[in-house]
Amino acid sequence: MQLHIDTDAQTLLHQTSDGERSMNLYSVEAFNLVSSLWVKLGWNAKYPYTFSWLGRPLIQLPEDVIRIQEVIQQLKPDVIIETGVAHGGSLVFYASLFEAMRSKGRVIGIDIEIRPHNRQAIEEHPLFDRITLIEGSSIDPDTVAKAKALIAPGEKVLVILDSNHLRDHVRAELEAYCDLVCPGSYIVATDGVMQEVADVPRGAPSWIDDNPSAAAHQFATAHPEFELVKIPYVFNESSLNTQITHWPDAWLRRR
Q: What is the pLDDT along the chain (255 residues), one digit of tens a residue?
A: 999 999 999 999 999 999 999 999 999 999 999 999 999 999 999 999 999 999 999 999 999 999 999 999 999 999 999 999 999 999 999 999 999 999 999 999 999 999 999 999 999 999 999 999 999 999 999 999 999 999 999 999 999 999 999 999 999 999 999 999 999 999 999 999 999 999 999 999 999 999 999 999 999 999 999 999 999 999 999 999 999 999 999 999 999
User: In sequence order, what are the beta bridge partners of 13?
Assistant: 4, 22
In single-letter form, the type of residue at position 181 comes to V
Helix (H) or strand (E) holding 212: helix 212-222
Q: How far apart are CA 243 and CA 203, in angstroms?
A: 22
**Residue spans per domain, the chain:** 2-44, 52-254
Q: Which pLDDT belongs to residue 209?
A: 97
**DSSP track, 67-135:** HHHHHHHHH--SEEEEE--TTSHHHHHHHHHHHHTT---EEEEEES---HHHHHHHHTSTTGGGEEEEE
Contacts of 149 (CB under 8 A, 6+ apart): none
Q: Flag whether the pTM goes above 0.95.
A: yes
- Which one is the CATH code of 52-254: 3.40.1520.20, 3.40.50.970, 1.10.10.10, 3.40.50.150? 3.40.50.150
